[in-house]
Chain A
Amino acid sequence: MRAKTIIKGRYILIFCAVVVALLLPLVLQSNQYVMVLMTTVLLYAVLASAWNIIGGMAGQLDLAAAAYLGLGAFTTGTLLIRWNITPWIGMFVGGLVSVVLAMLIGFPLFGFKIKELWYALSSSAMVVVLQSVFMMWRSVGGATERYLPAGLSTWFSMRFDTYTPYYYIMFVILMIVLFVNWRIRYSKLGYSLLALGEDEDAVEVLGVNSQASKLKALVIYAFICGVVGGVYTCLYGYMHPSFFDTSMSMEIAILGIVGGMGFIYGPALAAIIMVSFREYLRANLGGQMAGLYLAVYAVILILMALFQPRGFAPLLERGIKRARTYFTELRHGRPADVKSQ
């Protein structure tokens, strides 16, 4: 009985959040600056949630999100510019190209059980390598931006006059990614990944193929990043090797960690809080001193690591619990009062 009301309460909360997110653009549509910010927040929420599969569950400190994202962006953009293929198809092709790269890098890394710092460095290096490759690869990239066909506002080329459609596209992707997270978490793969994050040898003798499990996680993560890359390039209207951005990869990993490892909604929550906060700081402090907003942002992250190392999600869980006991007490009186009667 009690458990049922708790679950019901959680569904109501999720439902409210979804409704608010869907209605927000209607209120804020007049301010396109806010719309692009909210779309960016959702973009980071998607990427951090995807990272949760390889980083939060499998415990691999992956810093290559921008590699997969950039590859998806360049694939989608090139398909549109060269062969006039719609980004709606291009983004999935981009996802598949990212998957190929993920397999190439993941197979040897997981075969040799590369972990922690060494995995982080290897994956991070990939971003840098790809950036150089696309800088020199004249027929696709090059040092100047390549613009997508401009001036058109069409569904075919995923180009719109306002940011509102991008907001909804990102929102739908976020919902799908959260659903995928949830399905994986409570499946054989999810339990195996969680255990692999703790002790690899001990999991292998229980019949889990560590290489295959991690490769699956990496492939799903890379596919999501690649698809999002397709939307990313249409959102900004151009593509450039600077899309292969190490600091962005780092930030996605940070959001995944700060959100609360092992909580499905944690990384998305962290993205919503931290990215909004960062943009707020940028808008208000950016004019005063260059880079000041990043310094403040860093201080907040350090404080977070010191006082709430398990992340935002446990903090929220505690808050919900406290609110629940408060309301039940309000309705039924304190447990002590009940006893005295």
Chain B
Amino acid sequence: MTTLAILGALARTFAMISLIAIGGVNAVVPAMRHEVVDLLHWMSDATFMQLYAITQITPGPNVVIVSLIGWQMGGMAGLLVATLSMLLPACLLAFVVGRLMSRVAGSKGFKLAQDALVPVAIGLIIAGGLDLAQAAHRGWLTVVISAASMVSILKFGANPIWTLLTSAAVALAAHYSGLVSLA
């Protein structure tokens, strides 16, 4: 494939995935793998999983998986094309819906939609957290860390960064004192 053909394919693939990513980017990671590994044969399963693992330890929105695939395929140009193709369609839609939202704010229909959507949002967050906790489970210490971190937010309103650093420090101390094995 020529560079231009790759950039075109990146744009097409991620613009399409952008618009089916309902519920967030994690929901379409399997679809992304299917496109990139099975259909386009751009990389092996192992390479895709390695890129995914890297984005899991990267802070910020998990949409960076797209930037990384773009970078892998087409350097800086690939990164920009892939990221913009993934962001633009969904962002334009969000922009339009946001405008509509502020126009109808305060109306009866808006109140109804709000009262219905807010619990959906909260339910998806809690369920997402439970899923993440299951994925992060490596024995009792990880359960204690998850529970303590939950309480730190819920009861103390702690800044997330301190909770994160404390958790890492406790795990390192527990691991290197021989209390548990997390490696």
Partners in one complex: no
Seen from chain A, the residues whose Cβ lies within 8 Å of a Cβ on chain B are none
Seen from chain B, the residues whose Cβ lies within 8 Å of a Cβ on chain A are none
